[in-house]
């Protein structure tokens, strides 16, 4: 008999590792294609407005403005947020943002994130708007 105490988290860690491995195997095609964001469904505009809009703060920002601000922050992060940029652009379009508003938001972010971050975000936004690389 060992004097070492039993780790109560050992079985939990093992189960989590097995679940993660199974999920990664199932997600491999999307991960390999670089379009992992295609796995996430779009949130309906009504739900976005409910959770990101004025429902809880009637004097606050509407969902479109919140999503454009999110896009600006993601743009400043640069290439670290490719999936999130495409997803946020699609969601912003769904609540009424125009391609011009998206371009202006990204352009303004270049003041803080630099031209390379802006250029990459513009490319990702164009992909999201045009549906490039998505299965029909």
Tokens describing residue 77: 């992060």
In terms of DSSP H, where are the helices of the chain? 10-33, 45-52, 63-77, 82-94, 99-113, 115-130
pLDDT in tens, 69-110: 999 999 999 878 888 999 999 999 999 999 999 999 999 999
Q: Which of 6-10, 17-21, 76-80, 90-94 is predicted with the least confidence, judged by mean pLDDT?
A: 6-10
Rounded to whole angstroms, what are the CA distances from 54 to 47, 65, 81, 119?
11, 11, 26, 32
Q: With bands split at pLDDT 50, 70 and 90, how would you rate the model's confidence at 14?
A: confident
| pLDDT number for residue 136 | 40
Which has more pLDDT, 95 or 132? 95
Q: Nearest 5°: phi and psi at 82?
A: -60, -50
Tokens describing residue 36: 């992992």
Is-contact 85 124, C-beta < 8 A? yes
């Amino acid at each position: 008999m060992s004097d070492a105490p039993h780790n109560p988290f050992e079985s939990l860690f093992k189960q989590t590792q097995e679940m993660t491995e199974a999920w990664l195997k199932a997600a491999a095609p999307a991960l390999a294609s670089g379009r992992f964001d295609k796995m996430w469904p779009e949130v309906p505009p009504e739900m976005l407005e409910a959770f990101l809009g004025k429902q809880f703060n009637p004097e606050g920002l509407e969902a479109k403005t919140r999503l454009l601000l999110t896009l600006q922050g993601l743009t400043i992060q640069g290439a670290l947020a490719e999936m999130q940029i495409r997803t946020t652009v699609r969601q912003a379009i769904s609540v009424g943002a125009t391609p011009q508003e998206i371009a202006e938001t990204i352009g303004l972010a270049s003041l803080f994130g630099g031209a390379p971050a802006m250029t990459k975000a513009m490319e990702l936004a164009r992909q999201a708007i045009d549906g490039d690389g998505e299965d029909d």
